[in-house]
Chains A and B, each alone.
Chain A
Amino acid sequence: MNLSKNLPLTETTFYILLALYKAGHGYAVMQDVEELSGGKVRIAAGTMYGALDNLTKQKLIFSLPSLDTRRKMYQISPEGREVLALEAARLSHLIEVYQMAEIGGDYHEKI
C-alpha cells in the first residue's frame, strides 16, 4: 500500500491520528484534539464520525473490543503511525527550508 498518497494530512486528521496513539472512543478523541491543539481545533460530532469512518476505511486506525457496549474504541494502526511519520518528515523539511531562508539569509544564495 502506498501510504504517501494520504499526504498532506489536514490539521484535523493529524491531530486525530496523534490522539489515537492512546485508544479512545469518539468523544474522547474530540476532547484530546482540542487539548492537543491548545483549544484551536474543535471538531464537531458529524465531522468527527465522518473522519473516524474514513480513517477506518483507509486502515489508518482500527476499532478494538470495548467494555462499553455502545461506544467503540479506536486506535491508530501501524500504517497510521507510518503516515504520521511521513507527514512529520514533510513538515520538518518545510520548517528546515523556512529557517534557512529566514535565519541563514537568502536561501537562494546557498543553492
Chain B
Amino acid sequence: MRRFKVFTDFEKEEKYLNDMAREGKILQKYSCLGFYHFKESSPQDLKYRIDYRVFKRNEDFEDYKALFEDAGWQHVYGTRWSCNQYYLPTQKSADDRIFSSEESAAARYKLFYEMCSANVSIAVCYFVVVLITADFNLGNITFLTPGLWEMTGTHFWRAFLVELPFVFFRTIPPFLLLIYGFIYAVWAGKSRKLYKQRVQENKDKV
C-alpha cells in the first residue's frame, strides 16, 4: 500500500508512522517526492525515529549505520541519498531517543533547510540559463514560425501542429523546474522556521 504525504516536521512524521503501525501498516520504504510504502500486518506499538543525513561516500554511510546498530537501533529504511533515515529501537536499545542534545536534534532541520536551499539555487540557475538562451524574452521559447499567427485555415494548423512538439520540448522543462524550485522554496521556508523555533526554545531553557 502506498500513501502520499509530505512532512517538514520530523516529529510529526515520526508520529504519523507510529500511528500507521498502530493500524497495522508497517513502513517498508520511502521514495522521494513523499511516497510511503506500507505492508499490512498486525497492529504494533512502534516508536520510529528519523534522522536526516546524506553521505558523500558509501563507507561513511556504512559507518553511520553500524554506529546506530551497535547502539541498539535497527535501520529500517534509508539510502545514501535519501536524506531521511528511519530507525526502530531493538531489544538492546537502552534509550528511545537518537539525540541526547537539543542542538543535535535541531541540526537535522538546519541540514534539511540547506538541502532545500541548494535545490532552489539549482532551479534559479537553470532558469537564468533559460532566460539568457532566450535573450530574456520568453516568447523566444514558444512558437517561432514567422508569421504563424497571421496564417489561416489548413496552413495555420499544419504549421502549428508541426511546431507544437518543439514548443513542448522547449517550454516543459523550464516549467517543471519552476514548480520544483517553488516547492523547495516553500519547504526551505518551513524548515528554516522550524529550526529557528527550536534554537529559540533551547535559548529559553538556558
Please report A residues at the B interface, Cβ cutoff 8 Å. Answer: 10, 12, 25-27, 30, 42-51, 68-72
In the complex, what's the smallest C-beta–C-beta distance from B204 to chain A, in angstroms? 18
B154 at interface by CB-CB < 8 Å: no
In the complex, what's the smallest C-beta–C-beta distance from B197 to chain A, in angstroms? 19
Partner of A70, one of B63, B71, B94: B63
Cα distance, A93 to B23, chains bound together (Å)? 58
- Contact B99 A46, beta carbon cutoff 8 Å: yes
- Contact A72 B59, beta carbon cutoff 8 Å: yes
- Contact A26 B95, beta carbon cutoff 8 Å: no
- Contact B100 A42, beta carbon cutoff 8 Å: yes
How many pairs of A and B residues are in contact by the CB < 8 Å rule?
Answer: 68
The 8 closest A-B pairs by CB, nearest first: A27-B70, A46-B98, A26-B67, A44-B100, A45-B71, A47-B104, A70-B66, A72-B63
Tell me the nearest residue of chain B to A73, going by C-beta: B63
B152 at interface by CB-CB < 8 Å: no
Interface flags for B64-77 (1: CB within 8 Å of A; 0: not) read: 11111011110000
A–B pairs, 22, beta carbons within 8 Å: A25-B66, A25-B70, A26-B63, A26-B70, A27-B66, A43-B100, A44-B71, A44-B95, A44-B99, A44-B100, A45-B67, A45-B73, A46-B98, A46-B105, A48-B71, A49-B51, A49-B67, A50-B107, A70-B62, A70-B63, A70-B66, A72-B59
- Which residues of chain B are near A49, meaning CB under 8 Å? 51, 53, 64, 67-68
Given A44-B99, A45-B68, verify A50-B73 contact (CB < 8 Å). no
- Contact A30 B62, beta carbon cutoff 8 Å: no
Chain B 21-66 residues near chain A, CB threshold 8 A: 49, 51, 53, 59-60, 62-66
Cα distance, A110 to B51, chains bound together (Å)? 53
Tell me the nearest residue of chain A to B95, going by C-beta: A44
- Contact B67 A25, beta carbon cutoff 8 Å: yes
